[in-house]
């Protein structure tokens, strides 16, 4: 058993602390937000993550997991301290490190014995060296410490599984012994350990997220081409994914990526490149395609409604950026709803778990109690988050409640033929061949001749 302190009780901090406690360690989580800590002590979670509440409760009862606002209490007897604070994007995309700075300064002020300080937050390349400089500068007396980069690779909605069954764990430091000690904390997970220098470790995180975002933008651009040429992107992706060199992951065309990681990390990596005199062409294209994909959904809605959404009622299914989370940060639904509302539409929306967050963030949108209330008298229904709940809806009932049977499936979760048999006018993403032999006005047939000007 190790004594571990985790600074920050947000998404990464709370999951990290709880999982380490479940592995048999003694973990104290520190957060300066008194209200959040008070609620955690009462068993109230600040985020929605499947299985997390039960895991927290079990480890609190076992006295392996504690919460406090006191750095002194958190650092007492700790050998390892994880910095798991937010690094939001500034206007230019640069990561804002004010919370990392504050955590590093306070650790330096309060530490009274040797520590291994681990950067778990996603931070720009070079931050580990910067944190070490802060600690050296702020310490009132020289106490040994080492800084290790240990980036997180947790997916919202499956974070506990990702922590307990990682593809790999990455550890970077100028102090190889310290990096190995942190790697030993993860040894029980039986995953490959990548031990490297601190800057390479920090870069692995950004490069990984940028690559995954690139796959999403790639298949979304292919979806646009599919619509024009009369192909079905879902079958294209399936055919591609069977190639072992490509694989099926992150090839689901839809409304684009969102959340707290991909948008921020791609933008931050592009900013780092620009700052050092480079032109990140691919990263810029990834971001441009992602923005365009959201506009495409609004365009589909306008086209179905004859060119304008003014005074039309548009129902939105799903607000969270993905299923199994209440996170609406950078959610495509927010952009799409605001666009439609600004164009004069009456927008109403529902999400299974993100309603409380939506109520705080969204103005000019009616929030409904369930999916059927969203469909009531709607001129068009738009699916934006692929919750299982939406896959099991009584679509015949939905159609009967709508003013017009118009359906935009932004996640391709419905079968086009089945929806059309029910009487819907169906539009998916990249499903250019609509089963009626027409794709954007051109014959969609295997022997169709090229059209001049296409």
Q: Which residues pair with 85 in a beta bridge?
A: none
Active-site choice (5, 150, 226, 261): 261
Place of tokens 């809806």: 393
Distance CA 454, CA 447 (A): 16
Residue 415: DSSP 8-state? -
Residue 154: DSSP 8-state? P
Distance CA 5, CA 8 (A): 10
Please tell me whether residue 13 adopts helix, strand or coil conformation: helix
Q: Which residues contact 402 (CB under 8 A, 6 or more apart)?
A: 315, 375, 376, 377, 378, 379, 381
Q: In what order do the strands lie in the sheet with 406-409?
A: 365-367, 346-350, 313-317, 380-383, 406-409, 425-427
Is residue 318 within 8 Å of 408, Cβ to Cβ?
no
Characterize 423-449 residue by residue with b for buried, 16 or more Cβ atoms within 10 angstroms of its Cβ, and e for exposed: ebebbbbbbbbbeeeebeebebeeeee
Is residue 148 within 8 Å of 132, Cβ to Cβ?
no
Q: Which residues pair with 95 in a beta bridge?
A: 89
Distance CA 26, CA 69 (A): 17
341 CB neighbour count, 10 Å cutoff: 17
261 is catalytic: yes
Instruction: Point out the residues that are catalytic.
Output: 261
């Amino acid at each position: 058993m190790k004594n571990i302190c985790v600074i920050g009780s947000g998404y990464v901090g709370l999951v990290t602390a709880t999982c380490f406690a479940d592995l048999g360690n003694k973990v104290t989580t520190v957060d300066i937000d008194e209200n959040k800590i008070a609620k955690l002590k009462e068993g109230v979670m600040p985020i929605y993550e499947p299985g997390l509440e039960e895991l927290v409760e079990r480890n609190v009862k076992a006295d392996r997991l504690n919460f406090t606002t006191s750095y002194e209490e958190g650092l007492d007897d700790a050998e390892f301290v994880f910095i798991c604070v937010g690094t939001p994007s500034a206007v230019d995309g640069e990561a804002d490190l004010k919370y990392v700075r504050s955590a590093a300064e306070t650790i330096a002020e309060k530490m009274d014995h040797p520590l291994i300080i681990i950067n778990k937050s996603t931070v720009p390349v070079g931050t580990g060296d910067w944190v070490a400089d802060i600690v050296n500068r702020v310490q009132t007396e020289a106490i040994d410490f080492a800084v290790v980069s240990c980036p997180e690779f947790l997916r919202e909605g499956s974070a506990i599984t990702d922590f307990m069954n990682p593809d790999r764990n990455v550890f970077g430091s100028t102090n190889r012994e310290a990096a190995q000690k942190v790697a030993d904390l993860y040894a029980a997970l039986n995953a490959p350990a990548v031990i490297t220098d601190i800057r390479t470790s920090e870069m692995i995180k950004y490069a990984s997220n940028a690559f995954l975002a690139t796959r999403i933008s790639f298949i979304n651009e292919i979806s646009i081409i599919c619509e024009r040429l009369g192909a079905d992107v879902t079958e294209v992706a399936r055919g591609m994914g069977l190639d072992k060199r490509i694989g099926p992951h992150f090839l689901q065309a839809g409304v684009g990526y969102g959340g707290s990681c991909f948008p921020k990390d791609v933008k931050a990596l592009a900013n780092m490149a620009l700052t050092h005199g480079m032109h990140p062409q691919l990263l810029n294209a990834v971001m441009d395609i992602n923005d365009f994909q959201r506009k495409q959904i609004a365009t589909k809605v306008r086209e179905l409604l004859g060119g304008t959404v003014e005074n039309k009622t548009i129902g939105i299914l799903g607000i969270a950026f993905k299923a199994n989370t209440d996170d609406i940060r950078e959610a495509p639904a927010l952009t799409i709803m605001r666009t439609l509302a600004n164009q004069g539409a009456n927008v109403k929306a529902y999400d299974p778990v993100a309603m409380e967050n939506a109520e705080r963030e969204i103005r000019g949108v009616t929030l409904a109690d369930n999916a059927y209330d969203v469909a009531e008298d709607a001129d068009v229904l738009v699916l934006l988050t692929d919750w299982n709940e939406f896959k099991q809806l009584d679509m015949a009932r939905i159609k009967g409640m709508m003013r017009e049977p118009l359906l935009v499936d932004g996640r391709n979760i419905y079968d086009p033929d089945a929806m059309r048999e029910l009487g819907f006018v169906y539009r998916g993403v990249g499903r250019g061949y609509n089963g009626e032999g027409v794709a954007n006005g051109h014959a969609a047939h295997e022997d169709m001749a090229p059209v001049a000007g296409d």
